[in-house]
Copies of this chain bind each other. A is one copy, B any other.
Amino acid sequence: MSSALHTDRYELTMLEAGLRDGTAHRRCVFELFARRLPGARRYGVVAGTGRLISLLRDFRFGDDELRFLRDEKVVDAATLRFLEDYRFSGTITGYREGELYFPGSPVLTVEGTFAEAVVLETLALSVLNHDSAVATAAARMSVAAGGRPLAEMGSRRAGEESAVAAARAAYIAGFSATSNLEAGRVWGIPTMGTAAHAWTLLHDSEEDAFRAQIDALGIGTTLLVDTYDTRAGVELAVRVAGTGLGGVRLDSGDLPVVAAQVRAQLDELGATGTRITVTSDLDEFAIAALAASPVDAYGVGTSVVTGSGAPTAGMVYKLVARQDAAGGWVPVAKASASKASTGGRKAAFRVCEDGTATAELITVSDGFEPLDTAAEHDDARPLQVTLVDAGDPDTAAEGPSGVRAARAHHARVREELPVRGLALSRSDPAIPTVFADAASRARRDQPARD
């Protein structure tokens, strides 16, 4: 499966024109970043990096792709010849998957000729925008859930392939499992799930359904008790399974009230070890509202796969530096109203004090080499790693092991945030983004006048 036509037509149109006037061969630096955090959130979570690296391997124009471009006259013959041999040979640096990001963070930096870098715009943005939107929502839910486990079960509310990516992103951001079997197969994510209401309705009685489920799955299973009447369902569940019943699931009603009632009823019946899972229309706010309720686990669907109100991270892919005709490097930026960008190659550091993040420091170079001011800070963690080195992908970031590493990294860096930065309410980013360029550095380096 080629990923090469996950591309907006204008990228190939620019390529054609650039091959014609020679500018397509100019070396360029493109940057992928977010101008702001959607929904006035406090932080974003980078996800999709490992998927993107794998998709880049398949970014080849094969017979099917070339035939389409030729038949539809999308590009001329010279451009077709270029695409036939296309293989990204540039370098991509970026934030580790699972890392936090803030407005202006250079989440991905793509270096290469204009020709090889411009065609990656759509694919890179599709993957990072979708996966980061889900991961950001998932991280907020994970914070709201405290230590209680969260399962992602929103596949049905997302496009079928995005559903797999969403399960992966949620797991990186702190979820513990998914209902999606393909996410289990491809990314090694633990899968979960026992029965739907259809299972109860299929049987001539709720008792038949519970008995059959326990016969097949044992008393450790979770019974869905709200198909008809929750109180009667709980009573029946314990009668059929005994007090060793693993769990009950509640998928409707006013959950704080129902969870308390069901816990009391289970305890009365002697099923004190039976766990309660709730799954009805949860988002980070509903989860937070259940913090004091006797709930053992959450299942989250729609809201996590749709980014809980922000289904895209809104990242953009902009040319920030390029060579001129003489080979010198020029920082570039557009001046469009409310969409201005900052030209120049960036380096990024998380500045911490006593282990708590205080700023996102982004240095801006006027040449090709990034400006390194990290040495000026006692505790400034460099945020960028090499993801593709002269065309060679970082295999450690791919596959299930990449997912596990990203999940561990996310858990680690989330600990650095100041406590107020974890709040769910709308506000400014948890830490300010501070830009530093060579000129401001030179000013700082001058001795004070007094």
Contacts and interface: CB of A to CB of B under 8 A. Distances in A.
Interface of A: 1, 3, 5-14, 16-18, 20-21, 23, 26, 28, 30, 55, 64-65, 68-69, 72, 74, 114, 118, 121-123, 125-127, 129-131, 153, 155-166, 179-182, 184-185, 191-204, 208, 212-213, 215-217, 226-229, 251-254, 280, 302, 305-307, 311-312, 314, 317-319, 322, 324-325, 332-339
Contacts of A163: 6, 122, 126
Given A64-B185, A74-B191, 15 more contacts: A3-B160, A8-B153, A8-B155, A13-B193, A17-B199, A17-B217, A23-B212, A72-B191, A122-B156, A126-B163, A127-B160, A129-B157, A159-B159, A202-B322, A227-B335
- Most B CB contacts (10 A, CB to CB) among A3, A153, A193 go to A193
Contacts of A126: 155-160, 163
A325 B208 CA distance: 12
Number of copies of this kind of chain in the complex = 2
Contact of A125 (B26, B157, B337): B157
Contact of A338 (B7, B201, B252): B252
Given A23-B202, A26-B202, A159-B127, A184 B335 contact: no
Among all A-B residue pairs, the 6 with the closest Cβ atoms: A10-B193, A159-B162, A17-B216, A161-B161, A125-B156, A9-B193
Nearest to A192: B9
Contacts of A157: 125-126, 129, 311-312, 314
Contacts of A159: 126-127, 130-131, 158-159, 161-162, 165-166
A431 to B, nearest CB: 26
Contacts of A335: 227-229
Contact of A334 (B165, B179, B227): B227
Nearest to A121: B156
Contacts of A208: 21
A157 B26 CA distance: 28
A89 B253 CA distance: 37
A181 B212 contact: no
Contacts of A65: 185
Contacts of A185: 5, 64-65, 68
Contacts of A332: 201-202
Contact of A314 (B164, B184, B202, B302): B302
A335 B200 CA distance: 12
Contacts of A14: 195-196, 198-199
B130 A162 contact: yes
A162 B158 CA distance: 8
Nearest to A203: B23
Contacts of A202: 18, 23, 26, 28, 114, 319, 322, 332
Contact of A215 (B1, B20, B338): B20
B6 A216 contact: no
A131 B161 CA distance: 13
A184 B8 CA distance: 10
A3 B9 CA distance: 28
14 contacts: A8-B180, A13-B193, A17-B217, A20-B216, A21-B212, A23-B203, A68-B185, A125-B156, A129-B156, A159-B166, A226-B336, A252-B337, A253-B337, A306-B311
A297 to B, nearest CB: 15
